[in-house]
Amino acid sequence: MTGGTAAGTAERTALVELTDVAKQYGNVRALEGVSLEVHAGGVTCVLGDNGAGKSTLIKIIAGLHGHDAGTLRIEGEETRLTSPRDALDRGIATVYQDLAVVPLMPVWRNFFLGSEPRRGAGPFRRLDTGLMRRTTREALLRLGIDLRDVDQPIGTLSGGERQCVAIARAVHFGAKVLVLDEPTAALGVKQSGVVLKYVAAARDEGLGVVLITHNPHHAYLVGDRFVLLRRGTMVGNYTRDGITLDELTQQMAGGSDLDALVHELRRS
């Protein structure tokens, strides 16, 4: 099922495009016939309950697992990602739900973890802590994130604030595509709103965002495209002008299956 065409995106080459992608683990078909497009300055939401295939889809886009069938194109070029580093080198950054941070290290150190700039030469070579502090503060402010102190341990931040730091980090290090794995799943209403605000900020910076979620209300607040998965298959692929929030919620809830359940419960 396909909705209308998103204004201004049809003529542009997608940053990432999957067409009829499938993945099988032994005898288990994890994904089959899944297609999606990710455009610069747009948010593609992938929705589904547990077991729908969202995690497998993330792993394919992030380069953790290769696809078995279908095509994956990055900026129009058909390719096969071989590793997460390969994906990063192609501009695809993935922020997982269980953020890979060192809780006792300060925010600025986590921001540069694995990419620390250094100064000096030979035995006098050392971390450029001043540059990292300044850059972290500036990168956060660029997205409107005003932390009290970048020297505080990142473990003292709220879940929403840690997600926002991860988004700012991806923007700073030049990601073209940002994949977010259920960023609001464990957050309350206020913190979820904060994260969605910075998802929109990343979109406005020109990134293509893939938002994995099971919450249609969160998806509809920021999404331009919506891909619905159920048991590894795609049951819906819509642009924003092709579906309403009520229709999206109904599809997520099971559509005709939900109607049948309501009828059955009423009879009971």
pLDDT tens track for 236-258:
999 999 999 999 998 887 655 55
- pLDDT tens figures, 57-67: 999 999 999 99
> pTM of the prediction?
0.84
The more confidently predicted of residues 261 and 26 is 26
The pLDDT assigned to 216 comes to 93
Write down all domains in the chain, each with its CATH number in brackets. Answer: 16-103+173-267 (3.40.50.300)
Q: Residue 12 above 70 pLDDT?
A: yes
Neighbouring CB atoms inside 10 A of 134's CB total: 13
d(CA 262, CA 268): 10
Q: Which residues contact 17 (CB under 8 A, 6 or more apart)?
A: 36, 37, 38, 71, 72, 73, 76
For the stretch 24-34, what's the b/e string if a residue is b when 16 or more beta carbons lie within 10 angstroms of its beta carbon?
A: eeeeeebbbeb
How many other CB atoms are found less than 10 A from the CB of residue 48? 24
CA distance 14 to 119: 39
More confident residue, 265 or 86: 86
CB neighbours of residue 204 within 10 Å: 10
CA–CA separation, 42 vs 176, rounded Å? 11
Three-state SS at 111: helix
pLDDT, tens only, 185-198: 878 888 889 899 99
What is the model's pLDDT at position 49?
Answer: 86
Q: Find the range with the poorest average confidence among 1-10, 12-21, 103-112.
A: 1-10
| Dist. CA 169–CA 164, nearest whole Å | 9
Mean pLDDT of 151-180: 91
pLDDT for res 6: 44
Whole-number pLDDT of residue 7: 42
Write phi, then psi, for 2 (nearest 5 degrees).
-130, 135
